[in-house]
Chain A
Amino acid sequence: MKILVCISNVPDTTTKIRFSEGNTSIDTAGVQWVINPWDELSLTRALELKDNSSAGVKSVTVVHVGPASSEPTIRKALAIGADDAVRVNAESKDAYYVAAQIAEVVKKEQYDMILCGIESSDYNGSLVGGMLAEFLGIPSVSSVSGISVEGGDTVLTREIDGGKEVVKVPAPFVAVVQKGIAKEPRIAAMRGIMMARTKQIRLYEPLSVDPLTAVTVFEKPEPRAACKFVDPEHPEQLIDLLQNEAKVI
């Protein structure tokens, strides 16, 4: 079995987001770039499956759509343990554009299990995984919080509103994964970092695809009013405020 993990390069989640002139893009000065947290968990689970010989995983490849400047993030994925990587040499235009590029890679290279994080922490779209599956005409299961491979069958646990379902899915497929898939993201060890330097990042030139959407402008969230403090000796005043001022209880 060959696993492909799609990774996105995002600002560290603690980054204070600032916009560039005209508010059409973010100001990248001083931004620390990391693997999107859900993609990092996908990669971790893929490597756990590879470590478990009964799952029969031959290789774990990561794919990223981005310019050369995102290579440090790909190297990080290789240092964590991915066998090799593919970079499609293009700036992301929208989710549709990214999914179309990854679909081309999959068509050429053939993978059995494709993992995508449920969303990227920058655009919060929750789109690339499902789009990729539709481009390829293969099954997709979303909100996946567990993957196991037993006797050649892949069984996924997915979250539904108010519960969980256990779903059997034939390969090849896309699993869109969320929290629960792996306990903690795997961290690169020194040996992994050394080995990553010699691992291959294969380069693809992008397909010409028209995006369907465009961000026209970014805005800061509306500032909240200052906090009103209630005397801790008289917390019943809080109940009064919630009932008569906020009118939420």
Chain B
Amino acid sequence: MSVLVYVENWDGKFKKLSFELVSFASETAKMMNSSVIVLSIGKVEDSELKKLGDYGAGRVLALENELLATLDSQAYSNAIAEIVLKTGSKVVILSNNNTGKALAPRLSVRLKAGVGSGVSKLPLSTDPFVVYKRTYSGNAFARVEIRSPVKILTLAQNTFHLTETPGNAVIEKIELPEEITGSTKVLDTKKQSGKILLTDADIVVSGGRGMKSPDNWGPLLELADALGGATACSRPVSDEGWRPHEEHTGQTGKIIAPNLYLAVGISGATQHLAGVSSSKYIVAINTDKDAPIFEAAQYGIVGDAMKVLPKLVDALKKR
């Protein structure tokens, strides 16, 4: 009856996303009077695995095997499915990030388990099992009933709080259930270093066409720096090549849910809002008081970004 949650690691370390997942899994298990099993795949030190216990993990299964050194969705989902069956888990939880999106659908078919993808809240009920998910790119939400005996949920990043519960995780090293080999081969990896990842960031400062020229980005970068945030941009800006494509947030770009999203010179087209509407707070700075971004924002400044941004940076420095 347990709830199994898969947590990936980044060079042997977990991040906030991993702890959000464990917190979410613990709370879901509580609703079902059940317990949580965490599955970690890859090389992670015991001291790092122990941290999962602080968020409600009682049992941590650690699987380390060369055959799973790179993400081969077939090999990974076969391994995870075997562990789900062995542990008799009834709910499987993954992140709705790139990895979760690669694995959840394959697991679904293998386990004949319905998926609630991109959920942002605890299940509304567990019998029947109903989850709440974003649809129509944030223009609607749906209650989805999962009718299969085993259920899979993928949790939207940055939407669930961390619940620290002092506990002690028991770590069990496990072996691959069977010889599993993948068919894909990773030839090269390019990692972004140093910068805060846009999808991980609590604060995001984003610029649109209203910034007028790529040469005007200085004050925006300074503000992001002063706030300890990441930078983003709207689609026209990345299409023009003013900013790298990795920064494009919106329906077809990255979908983010930071605590604070500062939209500078962004009018707020439906497609842009689709990527940022789950942000807890939206602040808009725009010269056009009728821009639709102000309907989505809680705080706004009608004014010229070039004048407003330096003042904000000054005010932050004086804090």
Which residues in A have some Cβ–Cβ distance to B below 8 Å? 11, 13-14, 16-17, 19, 26, 37-38, 94-96, 99, 118, 121-131, 133-135, 139-143, 155, 158-170, 176, 179-180, 211-221, 224-225, 227-232, 235-236, 238-239, 241-243, 246, 248-249
Contact = CB atoms under 8 A, between A and B. Distances in A.
8 contacts: A126-B104, A130-B108, A163-B192, A166-B187, A212-B112, A215-B142, A227-B294, A239-B315
Nearest to B133: A124
Interface of B: 10, 70-74, 77, 96-99, 101-106, 108-110, 112-118, 130, 133-148, 154, 182-192, 197, 199-200, 202-203, 227, 245, 248, 251-253, 259-260, 270-271, 274, 277, 280-284, 294-304, 307-308, 311-312, 314-316, 318-319
Contacts of A142: 73, 98, 101-102
Nearest to B261: A248
Given A131-B109, A228-B298, A167 B190 contact: no
A207 to B, nearest CB: 14
Contacts, number: 275
Contacts of B72: 139
A213 B116 contact: yes
Q: Is the interface of B mostly helix, strand, loop or mixed?
A: mixed
A130 B114 contact: no
A26 B140 CA distance: 10
A134 B77 contact: yes
Contact of B73 (A139, A215, A224): A139
B145 A95 contact: no
A147 to B, nearest CB: 14
B311 A236 contact: yes
Nearest to B124: A216
B307 to A, nearest CB: 7
Contacts of B116: 213
Contacts of A168: 184-185, 187
Given A139-B74, A242-B260, 18 more contacts: A26-B140, A123-B135, A125-B118, A133-B74, A139-B73, A141-B102, A158-B98, A163-B189, A163-B191, A167-B186, A168-B184, A170-B184, A213-B147, A224-B298, A235-B315, A241-B299, A249-B203, A249-B260
B102 A217 contact: no
Nearest to B270: A14
A125 B143 contact: no
B197 to A, nearest CB: 5
Contact of B118 (A124, A166, A231): A124
Nearest to B141: A219
B184 A239 contact: no
A170 B109 contact: no
B316 A129 contact: no
A135 B109 contact: yes
A240 B300 CA distance: 13
Contacts of A99: 105, 109
A116 to B, nearest CB: 10
Across the A-B interface, the 3 shortest Cβ-Cβ residue pairs? A130-B105, A232-B303, A212-B114
Nearest to B293: A227
B192 A162 contact: yes
Contacts of A129: 105
Contact of B141 (A37, A163, A218): A218
B319 A221 contact: no
A179 B239 CA distance: 12
A121 B251 contact: yes
B99 to A, nearest CB: 7
B314 to A, nearest CB: 8
B106 A166 contact: no
- Which of B102, B189, B295, B311 is most buried by chain A, counting CB atoms within 10 A of its CB? B102
A229 B298 contact: no
A219 B144 CA distance: 11
Given A163-B189, A212-B108, A217 B142 contact: yes
B112 A230 contact: no
Contacts of B74: 133-134, 139-140
Given A161-B10, A162-B192, A246 B298 contact: yes
A121 B136 contact: yes
A124 B187 contact: no
Contacts of B184: 139, 141, 167-170
B183 A139 contact: yes
A176 B101 contact: yes
Given A143-B101, A213-B147, A17 B10 contact: no
A26 B139 CA distance: 12
A133 to B, nearest CB: 7
